[in-house]
Chains A and B, each alone.
Chain A
């Protein structure tokens, strides 16, 4: 179910300081008290004993791993199709196998994270456009057979290759790969909506840039994976890696700074450390690719760095969201500001009307 007409409720990038009296400064209700003068202005908000307003997702490491592997699969299918069409069999093979492994891994992670894994198939009883998870499940379900078919030819034992079935499989590999590649970007991008379509402040507020960050990260990771194959065919992989990494870095930077308060968790605590490590690895991988990308070990090291950087990015963003949900500040302060801004606006309108 979607709600029309709520666009005006978007978070205004209002200044942090808020009007409001002592009443709100009383901090957490009940319990301990502290000297009001010691509090920094932007911490003056009220909550119920410091308890979160929204719940952090119950998800564990499976979900960021799923996000990462989904990205790898998506990016790799693109790379594979490109390699296939431009006759780069080595790259194609690496990318197809990589896509398959990522796909299997991501599905495994998803199932594992369910409270009732045996009921995984319940996802397929309905298609719900309002549910990014449903959409995603169907996208992956659409994508998986083609990605599978595309890789089948690579994995066929020699005896099968000689049969008619083998021939058929071989013949469908390219079209299947192309179909997979067309769906692939959505597989890489939808996971951003998966996170953003929640009340988790940092994820939700990241909604404008997050898909870009995620596809950049997917490209960077898939490129990095492609670079693990023979160097001579890996040119597109390197370009994809560098391009993706740059998109990822720039978009993530812009995202964090555009978000204001709810961007804070991205640079704090565990999430902050993960993001920092991700950035370092991605930058190193990018520079490595550019400088040493044509050498076997250099390419491998850079590719691994990019993969790791992409993975850590997902873990970082995941953790930042969890942290933002656990601290009521990130839910309450922006909403309060929004309300106050609206009240100011209404007052101004009244004044105008009166005047």
Chain B
């Protein structure tokens, strides 16, 4: 079976959040709290057990607040102004009427369905598994909520759902995007990709998507959008490539993603070696503690 995944082209994302909502609808995910976060139009914040798609909003760049040096309506004695008669004061163009280089980035984030998926590697129960589509999925009935996958994920994707199992669906177990495993099996596309109006989320064969992504980034470069870059498409990164990769318009960390992620488990041999040496050291130390001593 070919590996299936996402190419998320953030350059055409309009931040409509249809993907977030479609994901919640399809997967019957509980709400994630009603909090105004003040982070642009993002009141979701981050991916988590009850948010498998998250649309990030970034307003750039910050401009310092300066006194505009002009009377505003509120500062005038009678408050009214008459544009035709007013003498045109020198105005700092940067701060009125024009917004040099201002941009509003939007990006729909999701589980990366890593080639080397640390979450899957560390899962002690085998709950996390690799499907026939090459995706990484939690089996709700196997997971015992050990929580190990949570700190293992280099992208902060997977999380354990809080709440009482009696009242909250799948409480106490790890939850994340399934890449709509239950839809793929039926020949459907993932709910989020289906809902996305602008094809910012493109679903398909990962190899084919990589080609498409490269073409897109080339086209953007040709159009003068030099900030465009791919993230996670390379099989040479610390993850061996992402099953869900991105076209970004700024550094990954701007969107809340790690600039150079590495699957922690790739360093496991080194860790086990150090632990082995330490264990032997302990054994030796114990022996030493008794040696040369009689009763």
A and B touch in the complex (CB under 8 A): yes
Interface residues of A (CB under 8 A from B): 1-3, 6-7, 9-10, 23-24, 26-27, 29-31, 33, 35, 45-49, 51-59, 74-75, 78-79, 81-83, 85-88, 113-117, 119-120, 122-123, 125-126, 128, 130-134, 137, 181-182, 184-186, 188-190, 192-194, 196-200, 203-204, 207-212, 214-215, 218-219, 223, 233, 235-237, 239-240, 243-244, 247, 321, 325, 328, 331-332, 335-336, 338-339
Whether B159 sits at the interface, judged by CB under 8 Å, is yes
Which chain A residue shows the least CB distance to B251?
A: A46
Q: Would B282 and A54 count as touching, CB distance under 8 A?
A: no
B residues near A203, Cβ cutoff 8 Å:
151
Q: Would A199 and B118 count as touching, CB distance under 8 A?
A: yes
Q: Which 7 A-B pairs have the closest CB atoms?
A: A115-B145, A115-B172, A48-B256, A3-B266, A211-B278, A119-B144, A185-B279
Whether B276 sits at the interface, judged by CB under 8 Å, is yes
Q: Can you list 15 A-B pairs, Cβ within 8 angstroms, ordered by A?
A: A29-B40, A29-B254, A47-B253, A55-B159, A56-B150, A75-B282, A75-B286, A83-B290, A122-B127, A181-B283, A185-B279, A204-B267, A208-B274, A211-B274, A236-B290
How many A-B Cβ pairs are below 8 Å?
322
CA–CA, A133 to B277, complex, Å?
A: 19
Looking at B59-67, B84-92, B182-190, B195-203, the stretch in contact with chain A turns out to be B59-67
Q: How would residues 41 to 85 of chain B score, 1 for a CB under 8 Å from any chain A CB and 0 otherwise?
A: 000011010000000111111111100000000000000000000
- Residue in B64, B146, B156 whose CB lies within 8 Å of A133: B146
- Give the shortest distance, in Å, between B149 (CB) and chain A (any CB): 9
Contact A193-B271, Cβ < 8 Å, known A30-B40, A30-B59, A49-B39: yes
B residues near A193, Cβ cutoff 8 Å:
268, 271-272, 275
CA–CA, A35 to B290, complex, Å?
A: 63
A residues near B258, Cβ cutoff 8 Å:
53-54, 331-332, 335
A residues near B172, Cβ cutoff 8 Å:
114-116
- Residue in B56, B279, B293 whose CB lies within 8 Å of A236: B293
Q: Would A1 and B146 count as touching, CB distance under 8 A?
A: no
Whether B257 sits at the interface, judged by CB under 8 Å, is yes
CA–CA, A62 to B127, complex, Å?
A: 22
CA–CA, A247 to B60, complex, Å?
A: 50
Q: Would B283 and A185 count as touching, CB distance under 8 A?
A: yes
CA–CA, A29 to B123, complex, Å?
A: 34
Interface positions of B from 108 to 133, Cβ below 8 Å from A: 116-118, 120-127
Q: Would A198 and B152 count as touching, CB distance under 8 A?
A: yes
Q: Would A130 and B122 count as touching, CB distance under 8 A?
A: yes
Q: Would B266 and A6 count as touching, CB distance under 8 A?
A: yes
Q: Would A243 and B151 count as touching, CB distance under 8 A?
A: no
- Residue in B57, B254, B278 whose CB lies within 8 Å of A192: B278
- Residue in B64, B117, B289 whose CB lies within 8 Å of A1: B117
A residues near B30, Cβ cutoff 8 Å:
none
Q: Would A86 and B290 count as touching, CB distance under 8 A?
A: yes
CA–CA, A222 to B73, complex, Å?
A: 76
CA–CA, A123 to B143, complex, Å?
A: 9
Q: Would B289 and A82 count as touching, CB distance under 8 A?
A: yes
Contact A74-B282, Cβ < 8 Å, known A86-B295, A197-B264: yes
- Give the shortest distance, in Å, between A105 (CB) and chain B (any CB): 18
- Residue in A2, A26, A57, A233 whose CB lies within 8 Å of B60: A26
CA–CA, A321 to B150, complex, Å?
A: 13
Q: Would A1 and B262 count as touching, CB distance under 8 A?
A: no
Which residue, of A26, A130, A188, A190, has the highest number of chain B Cβ atoms within 10 A? A130
Interface positions of B from 211 to 230, Cβ below 8 Å from A: none
A residues near B126, Cβ cutoff 8 Å:
125-126, 128
CA–CA, A207 to B246, complex, Å?
A: 31
Q: Would B270 and A207 count as touching, CB distance under 8 A?
A: yes
CA–CA, A120 to B126, complex, Å?
A: 13
Contact A31-B288, Cβ < 8 Å, known A57-B150, A74-B282: no
Q: Would B62 and A207 count as touching, CB distance under 8 A?
A: no
A residues near B12, Cβ cutoff 8 Å:
none
- Residue in B57, B255, B268, B285 whose CB lies within 8 Å of A240: B285
B residues near A45, Cβ cutoff 8 Å:
253
New contact pairs (12) apart from A53-B258, A115-B147, A185-B286, CB-CB < 8 Å: A3-B240, A30-B39, A30-B57, A53-B257, A115-B143, A188-B279, A192-B274, A193-B268, A196-B267, A199-B151, A210-B274, A244-B285
CA–CA, A182 to B286, complex, Å?
A: 11
Q: Would A54 and B151 count as touching, CB distance under 8 A?
A: yes
- Give the shortest distance, in Å, between B61 (CB) and chain A (any CB): 5
A residues near B157, Cβ cutoff 8 Å:
55
